[in-house]
Amino acid sequence: MGLFDNMNKNTQTVGYSNQDAFEEQALSSIEANKLIRNTYTLLSMTLFFTAITAGIAMVMKMPPLGLIITLVGYFGLLFLTSKLQNSIWGLASVFALTGFMGLTLGPILSMYLTKFSNGSELIMMAFASTATIFLGLSAYALTTRKDFSFLGGFLAVGILVAFLAGIGAMVFNIPALSLAVSGVFVLLMSGLILYQTSDMVNGRETNYIMATVTLYVSIFNLFISLLQIFGLMGED
């Protein structure tokens, strides 16, 4: 009897363990789906807000804010958002960041509309390409649930190097280097979309505010890079 009792207890323990594991997996999946839903909802709202502030900047014919103001504003608001990510004020900081980026985008779009005879076509091409890349990569990461965490170190180093090279191309006015940097940024931002989406799916990212910021920055830089590539290739 003692042997059978032990076997019965072990069977019950295995049963409970499997049930607990199943419940934990189901709970994890529910939390991941909630995070993804909140992230994409906030992301769509911030992109819409960016379009509004960019439109305001274009209507008011705002001049470019300049490299220093842009960098200080961007990194300052990014740091503030990171600090407030777990509070309601984090949402306000996100909209402050994305609204500011819209103000920097407006003069760029105005420049393309005035400098290029096909400026509106270039903008639409960049927009359509950005949307296609983002939706395609997001769908791939969400459906396959592959782990792209191995891209983390490469993306961090690559973005830093490309960022410094981009500043150099801007300061010294080197179109060829600018084109190369834009191409590299397209690849890096595509990788960042895969990396961030994978983090959400696999539970490594638990804060939808920071997930939104990462995806927003990826989309923004992807759009700007594609716009520069199309502009440089179409320039007389």
Q: What is the pLDDT at residue 19?
A: 53
* pLDDT tens digits along 126-177: 999 999 999 999 999 999 888 898 988 899 999 999 888 888 888 777 778 8
Q: What is the pLDDT at residue 28?
A: 63
Q: What is the pLDDT at residue 25?
A: 54
Kindly give the parts of the chain with pLDDT less than 50. 1-4, 6-9, 11, 14, 21-23, 26-27, 236
Q: What is the pLDDT at residue 235?
A: 60
Q: What is the pLDDT at residue 50?
A: 96
pTM for the whole thing?
Answer: 0.86
Instruction: Domain ranges for the chain, please list them.
Output: 2-38+106-234
DSSP 3-state of 174: coil
Q: What is the pLDDT at residue 23?
A: 46
The neighbour count for residue 71, using CB atoms within 10 Å, is 13
